[in-house]
A and B are shown apart, each in its own frame.
Chain A
Amino acid sequence: MSDERRKWHERLNVTLWTLIIPPTVWAGHFLFSYLWAAISCAKEGAFAKFPTLFVAGTVLALAIILLSGWIAHRQTGMRGDSPPHDEGTEIDRLRFLAKSTLLLAGLSFVGVLFTALPVVFIGDCR
């Protein structure tokens, strides 16, 4: 592996902090959805006919999750160390974090979709 290629990966390195991006976005979207529904029902008495803010927020959340999933996916493909595997190495740690981020991104993507679907179907304050 050339030094130049290694640098490109290092710049996008997943860490424990980037690991929590997809679930945090999911949590934020969840909170935003419920607050938005509660506030529009309390203030307006009804959902907006075309909830622009809600659609934009959902698209943004999905985009961030997709992006972190894609970055993580690129890094799961990194070549591991050669045997013997006697101790944890930096590259092992990176590959593990990348795989975890990828799985969390998948879960969060579905989570955001499931949170958004009721708005499409119900659209009622009761």
Chain B
Amino acid sequence: MAGGVLAVSALVLTGCNRHQSALAPFGLEARSTLGLTVVLTIGAAAIALAVAAIYVAAARAPEGRLSHKGGMRLVLWLGAIIPTVVLTALLLWALPAMRPLPAEAGDLRIRVEGEQFWWRVAYRPPGAPPLFSANEVRLPVGRTVVFELAATDVVHSFWIPGLAGKMDMIPGRTNRLVVKADKPGTYRGVCAEFCGLSHALMAFDVIAMEPAAFDAWLAAARTAPPRPQDRGAALFAREGCASCHAVADNGTRDIGPDLTRFGERLTLGAGILAPTPENTAAFIRDPHRFKPGARMPAYAHLSEDEALALARWLKRTSPEEGR
């Protein structure tokens, strides 16, 4: 019965959160981990109930019914032999799940670097130049993807609960996490290692796409969306945004997030705000209100109107949009 209750509550919890939950897997590793979790939880509940039942039976047994020898035999079997066998079986069953997925040289590599408090992303398809992005990861469903995880300032941890276990991002080394998504959808990943004031505000969107759609997106993403030379462009130049951010070939990718395809992102500020021009403008004028400890300086001297013009220009995905 406890097993049933657990299974039902797992389903209910899954219903609450489908985009960031190890109970709602969309990848091979998370799926096998969920299998282990369910079996271990139900098994532990069953064992707890059985022990309680034996305890009650022993306490209620009439005098003279239980022998010392029988008790010792019970301890030997239920206390030593059966636990050893059960634990051995669980170990033999669970160990293969710890084996990393095999990856080949031709698999897509995605390099993700953790920064306080955002994610630098570079898609490195075999035999093609890299494509830069930030705070969003797109994956082809059914294909093996190798994440190369690094950090530049402090230790972060890359965790997409529905896809795989977490993996630390450590300055000075590159960790590999091999994953395979198996269900298209929009999900969320987070930083899982305390990294500073806005640690809890460091997340990213994960978009698992059908392979054909992914290939089409990757090809299209190589062409930066055209942006007019309007007031927004002038503000971008005047305020020196390019000394930290890149828009297409203008600017640097070594300091702040790449903004080339900013308009396409599902969230703003690494997974914390709705991607509206108003929020973007407010973020530009006072980033620390939304993200304490962020390295971006406040542009409070911009008027609301100017900030909005800059935000609209940044958010452009096509020339017609945002007029």
Contact = CB atoms under 8 A, between A and B. Distances in A.
B95 A118 contact: yes
A114 interface: yes
Contacts of B84: 110
A122 interface: yes
A106 B92 contact: no
Contacts of B176: 126
A117, A121, A122: most-surrounded residue (chain B CB, <10 A): A121
A117 B95 contact: yes
Interface string A80-115: 000000000000000000000000001000100110
The A contact surface, by secondary structure, is helix
A113 B95 CA distance: 13
A122 B91 contact: no
Interface stretch (B25-33, B52-60, B96-104, B222-230): B96-104
A124 interface: yes
Interface in B75-126: 80, 84, 87-88, 91-92, 95-96, 98-100
Given A106-B80, A110-B84, A122 B92 contact: no
A113 B96 contact: no
B248 to A, nearest CB: 37
B177 to A, nearest CB: 9
Given A106-B80, A110-B84, A124 B91 contact: no
B91 A117 contact: yes
A117 B100 contact: no
A113, A122, A126: most-surrounded residue (chain B CB, <10 A): A126
Nearest to B178: A126
Contacts of A110: 84, 88
Nearest to A113: B88
B96 A121 contact: yes
Contacts of B95: 117-118, 121-122
Nearest to B167: A126
A126 B91 contact: no
Interface string B65-77: 0000000000000
Contacts of B92: 117, 121
Contacts of B99: 121-122, 124
B212 to A, nearest CB: 31
Contacts of A124: 99-100
Nearest to A120: B95
Given A113-B88, A114-B91, A122 B80 contact: no
Contacts of B88: 110, 113-114
Nearest to B102: A124
A124 B95 CA distance: 12
A18 B92 CA distance: 32
Contacts of B87: 114
Nearest to A109: B84
B84, B96, B176: most-surrounded residue (chain A CB, <10 A): B84
A117 B95 CA distance: 8
Nearest to B92: A117
Contacts of A122: 95, 98-99
B157 to A, nearest CB: 15
Nearest to A106: B80
A48 to B, nearest CB: 17
A114 B176 CA distance: 26
Nearest to A119: B95
A85 to B, nearest CB: 16
Given A114-B91, A126-B176, A121 B98 contact: yes
A110 B99 CA distance: 22
Given A110-B84, A121-B92, A122-B95, 13 more contacts: A110-B88, A113-B88, A114-B88, A117-B91, A117-B92, A117-B95, A118-B95, A121-B95, A121-B98, A121-B99, A122-B98, A122-B99, A124-B99
18 contacts: A110-B88, A113-B88, A114-B87, A114-B88, A114-B91, A117-B91, A118-B95, A118-B98, A121-B92, A121-B95, A121-B96, A121-B99, A122-B95, A122-B98, A122-B99, A124-B100, A126-B100, A126-B176
By Cβ-Cβ distance, the 3 closest A-B pairs, closest first, are: A121-B95, A126-B100, A110-B84
